[in-house]
């Protein structure tokens, strides 16, 4: 059996996933956690083949923390199960080392299929994302701007769009406030805007956030 841990904020998600896989012949949900601090504890005490992880999990502030989990627990593979925009987050998640990305609008059957394929060593992303990535070369310079953003810049942009100030973001990401200011300046430059309002609007237009 493929031993799976589900890390998600929402009890309804835990109930739905656990119920769906209750009698599955290949997948067993052996652990459920509701915040990121519990993920490491579970991985240290249980043998987990696949970690199903929501990028908006409480306590998870950075994709770099996901990379740390993969580094410290190399036998565990990660499948992202999230409702964040696939066009932006799936490619960066794969780049960080996760093995799959399933949007929460997909059927649980798709999640199950992905778990099995990832356990077999394959990389799973939605066909829509694959097509988007294939079309990047054909897009205009404006449409391709989001591809120039680093994982950290995307994170800073996301928090800026939520209305957080530089000092708040610095505490969340455990970075110097001047570093956050530098990322903000880079974002303004890369998205070719001059102020925060236009930055957030441009990001939304390009479906970065």
pLDDT tens track for 178-204: 999 999 988 987 887 888 998 888 877
pLDDT tens track for 18-30: 999 999 999 999 9
Helix (H) or strand (E) holding 103: strand 100-103
Helix (H) or strand (E) holding 116: helix 108-119
Report which of 187, 194, 179, 94 is spatially closest to residue 148, judged by C-alpha positions.
Answer: 187
Question: Among 56-60, 125-129, 198-202, which stretch is predicted with the lowest mean pLDDT?
Answer: 125-129
Is residue 56 scored above 60 in pLDDT?
A: yes
Is residue 125 scored above 90 in pLDDT?
A: no
pTM: 0.73
Report which of 37, 33, 90 is spatially closest to residue 63, judged by C-alpha positions.
Answer: 90
Our separate counts of H helices and E strands in the chain read 10, 6
Is residue 57 scored above 80 in pLDDT?
A: yes
Average pLDDT over residues 133-152: 61
For residues 67 and 45, what is the distance between their CA atoms, to the nearest angstrom?
20
Average of per-residue pLDDT values in the chain: 88
Is residue 76 scored above 90 in pLDDT?
A: yes
pLDDT confidence tier of residue 132, bands split at 50, 70 and 90: low
Walk me through the domains of the chain, giving residue ranges and CATH numbers: 1-134 (3.40.50.2300), 149-204 (1.10.10.10)
Is residue 139 scored above 60 in pLDDT?
A: no
Tokens for 81? Answer: 């199960």
């Amino acid at each position: 059996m493929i031993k799976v841990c589900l890390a998600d904020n929402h009890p309804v998600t835990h109930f739905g996933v656990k119920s769906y896989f209750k009698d599955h012949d290949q997948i067993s949900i052996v652990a459920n956690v509701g915040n990121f601090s519990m993920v490491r504890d579970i991985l240290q005490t249980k043998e987990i083949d696949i970690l199903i992880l929501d990028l908006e999990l409480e306590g998870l502030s950075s994709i770099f923390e996901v990379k740390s989990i993969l580094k410290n627990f190399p036998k565990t593979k990660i499948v992202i199960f999230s409702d964040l925009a696939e066009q932006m987050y799936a490619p960066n998640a794969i780049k960080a080392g996760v093995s799959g990305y399933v949007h929460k609008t997909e059927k649980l059957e798709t999640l199950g299929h992905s778990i099995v394929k990832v356990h077999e060593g394959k990389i799973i992303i939605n066909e829509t994302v694959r097509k988007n990535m294939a079309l990047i070369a054909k897009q205009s310079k404006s449409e391709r701007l989001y591809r120039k953003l680093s994982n950290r810049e995307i994170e800073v942009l996301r928090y800026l769009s939520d209305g957080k100030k530089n000092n708040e973001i610095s505490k969340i990401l455990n970075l110097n406030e001047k570093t956050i200011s530098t990322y903000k300046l880079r974002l303004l430059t890369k998205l070719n805007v001059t102020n925060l309002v236009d930055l957030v609007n441009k990001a939304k237009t390009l479906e970065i956030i």
